[in-house]
Amino acid sequence: MGGPWVVLQAYAVANHYSIVMLGPEGARITDGYSEWEAVSIPRERAVTEFRHRRPYVQTIDALIDGWIVHLLRPNLPRSFINPPRLPKGFNYSRRGFPTGGGGVWIEGMIANLESLAIRQPGDATPHRVRLYGAIWHPECSWAITNLEWGDYIIDGQTGRKMRQQVTIHLLEFNQPTELRSLPRGKAR
């Protein structure tokens, strides 16, 4: 059903992350290359002038799945306090397959992803995230600009979600070094 793991981790908090599987559409860059402008010259052909490189825009088709059957654990860097936990009811077996019953509810996994996309109490802005997995430009810092919820499957007896498709829209987070090094202004 799902593809490779994709992990979105908040920069500020090592154990604030969301783990999803790559969906059939995968990850794709939709913008972020050179911007050129035609500059008019009186009585001459316009001159093409380079303006700047736009920030990358990435879209990830993801699947949050309560019926996970996946061969491999996510391969994650040491910045994680603990390896990502799968939903309650699943454990990795010695062969790499998760063990569990007929599936688990995924509301907690959905809440984790939403918490990365919105501002948390006490924070001025939502967290920027780093990405791990089969995605474009994992070296970049990203901001989640939108979560577009798609089809889902619910448990017929409880009405709780068991599988959810989501498209994650990301924008490359970039601040000039000079701005970061400026001293903070004094409060008036």
- What secondary structure does DSSP assign to 71-119, as a single string? SS-----TT-SSPPPPPTT-EE-TTS-EE-SS----HHHHHHHHHHHSP
**For residue 52, what is the DSSP state?**
E
Cβ pair 62, 6 in contact under 8 A? yes
Q: What is the pLDDT of residue 96?
A: 40
Q: Give the C-alpha separation, 64 to 186, whole Å.
A: 45
Domain range 5-175, its CATH number among 3.30.420.80, 2.40.30.200, 3.40.50.1100, 1.10.10.10: 2.40.30.200
Interatomic CA distance for residues 109 and 69, integer angstroms = 16
**Which residues is 143 bridged to in the sheet?**
171
Cα 66 to Cα 3, 42, 86, 154, distances in angstroms? 14, 64, 9, 10
The pLDDT, as a whole number, for residue 112 is: 86
pTM of the entire structure? 0.76
**How many CA atoms are closer than 13 Å to the CA of 35, on its beta-carbon side?**
8
Short-list 93, 94, 89, 84, CA closest to 21: 84
- Chunk the chain into consecutive blocks of 10 residues (it has 188) and report each block's average pLDDT, rounded to whole numbers: 76 76 90 90 90 92 76 59 52 42 70 89 86 87 95 83 92 76 65
User: In the prediction, which pLDDT does 90 show?
Assistant: 47
Task: Assign 175 to helix, strand or coil.
Answer: coil
Residue 71: per-residue pLDDT? 43
pLDDT given for residue 145 in this prediction: 96
Q: Where are the domains of the chain?
A: 5-175
